[in-house]
Amino acid sequence: MMPDASHLAPSTINWNEIDHVLLDMDGTLLDRHFDNFFFEEELPRRYAALHALPFEVARDRLLAMYRSVEGELAWTDLNYWTKQVGIDVVAMHKELNHMIGFLPGAEEFLRHLRRLGKHVIIVTNAHRTGVSVKVAKTGLDRYVDRIVDAFEVGYLKMRPEYWPACQRLLGFDPSRSLFMDDDEGCLTAAKAFGVARLVHSAKSSSQLPPAPLPQFFSITGFSPLLNGRRTG
């Protein structure tokens, strides 16, 4: 038996069949280059200076600390990391906010969804303090109905507990919803919950090559999503 690939083909995205569009923030709408640079380069550099360590040692130590809480809310909690590393991570976000920006085509896509009259909600693993910095820089909130961080739901998106809790919070019908993310684990969890349309953002960073996933409808730009039929 052939596997169900109905979520793979762009021709299946008939906007008349979708009421809610659930969108990841970093790596889907916003350029993940900021986050990659911040946590893999700049924060290790400052941590190395603070503790008089070689950069490589500091980076390896921080990467191990990140992995130790991966999948837990602490993973993206900027206040947690401020305490862990002894550096004001929130202040660093504000200092480096010139690096925060949309991925190419993201704003056009959001305007397209507005014209279609869809309920557009950001569902992000990011901590609310980081979200506020990015919203202040980009004006992302102007394009959407609501921004929901993982701390409001109580779980990160790759956790199976996330999706029923998120559905109770937002009241979306999974069979009439589209979810887009750059993270395989988040998409897999959404698929298991029954979200009908899944889209993988394969070009999460402007500075890295695309990393498509064969098991999902994987796109490197937003143009395949602009061809669906309009409501009405």
Residue 140 identity = L
Give the Cα separation of 4 and 114 in Å (integer).
30
Question: Do 186 and 89 share a structural domain?
Answer: no
Residues written for the chain? 232
Q: Which two tokens stand for residue 42?
A: 């700049």
Q: Is 171 exposed, middle or buried (0-12, 13-18, 19+ CB in 10 A)?
A: exposed
Minimal CA–CA distance to 21: which of 212, 226, 183? 226
What's the mean pLDDT in 187-208?
97
* pTM of the predicted protein model: 0.91
Q: Check residue 232 and give its pLDDT.
A: 29
Mean pLDDT across the stretch 93-102? Answer: 97
The answer to whether residue 126 sits within a structural domain is yes
- What pLDDT score was predicted for residue 4? 40
Beta strands in 10-135 (DSSP E): 20-23, 119-124
Average confidence (pLDDT) over 170-196: 97
Does any domain span residue 232?
Answer: no
Number of domains in the chain: 2
- The arithmetic mean of pLDDT across residues 31-53, rounded, is 97
- Residue 143, token pair as written in the block: 């394009």
Report CA 73 to chain centroid distance, whole Å: 14
Do 137 and 40 belong to one domain?
no
Res. 3: pLDDT tops 50: no
Same domain, 141 and 170: yes
**For residue 106, pLDDT beyond 60:** yes
* CA–CA distance, 225 with 232 (Å, rounded to integer): 18
The CATH number given to whatever domain includes residue 17 is 3.40.50.1000
Question: In this structure, are 27 and 38 located in the same domain?
Answer: no
Q: Are residues 70 and 134 in the same domain?
A: no
Average pLDDT of the chain to the nearest whole number: 92
- Domain end, chosen from 53, 72, 98, is at 98
Determine the average pLDDT of the residues in 80-85: 96
Instruction: Tell me the residue range of the domain where 51 lies.
Output: 34-98
Do residues 77 and 171 share a domain?
no
Q: What share of the chain is helix, strand, coil (3-state, %, to 5)?
A: 50, 15, 35
Task: Judge whether residue 12 has pLDDT over 60.
Answer: no
Please tell me whether residues 117 and 189 are part of one structural domain. yes
Residue 167 sits in the same domain as residue 89: no
Q: How does DSSP assign 46-95, residue by residue?
A: HHHHHHT--HHHHHHHHHHHHHHTTTSGGGG-HHHHHHHHTS-HHHHHHH
How would residue 98 be classed by pLDDT, with cut points 50, 70 and 90? very high
The answer to whether residue 1 is domain-embedded is no
Structural domain ending residue among the three candidates 98, 115, 150: 98
CA dihedral 79, 162, 217, 127 (to 10 degrees): -10
User: Token pair for residue 198?
Assistant: 């899944």
Same domain, 120 and 21: yes
Boundary-marking domain end, from 98, 113, 134 = 98
| Co-location of 118 and 186 in the same domain | yes
Residue 13 binned pLDDT confidence (cut-offs 50, 70, 90): confident
pLDDT in tens, 121-168: 999 999 999 999 999 999 999 999 999 999 999 999 999 999 999 999
